Amino acid sequence: MQKLRAEYWTTIGEINLADLIFIDEAGVNIAMTRRFARSPQGSRAYGDRPDGRGKNVTMIGAMSLEGIIAAMTFTGGKLFHV
């Protein structure tokens, strides 16, 4: 196991960090609301929430050592709750 670990770090060490691009995706729906809130002791928390389901919005972005290099949003994606 130690040999495999050493080989892994040797391989990783050869990668040029400038060649790496990280991509991430997130989704949101305007009808999403918090189920719990905080309020001063002895008082109740009140709030409004949107009516209806709303549309899903998916956001995708790419980032390198230079910073954000691409970003986009589109409607209609599926939201998965983990």
- pLDDT value at residue 41: 93
| Angle (nearest 5°) at CA 79 between 49 and 23 | 120
- Rounded to two decimals, the pTM is 0.59
Quote the CA–CA distance of 23 and 31 in Å, as a whole number: 26
**pLDDT score for 76:** 77
- Binning pLDDT at 50, 70 and 90, where does residue 48 land? confident
Q: Residue 66: its pLDDT value, please? A: 94
Which of residues 35 and 15 earns the better pLDDT score? 15
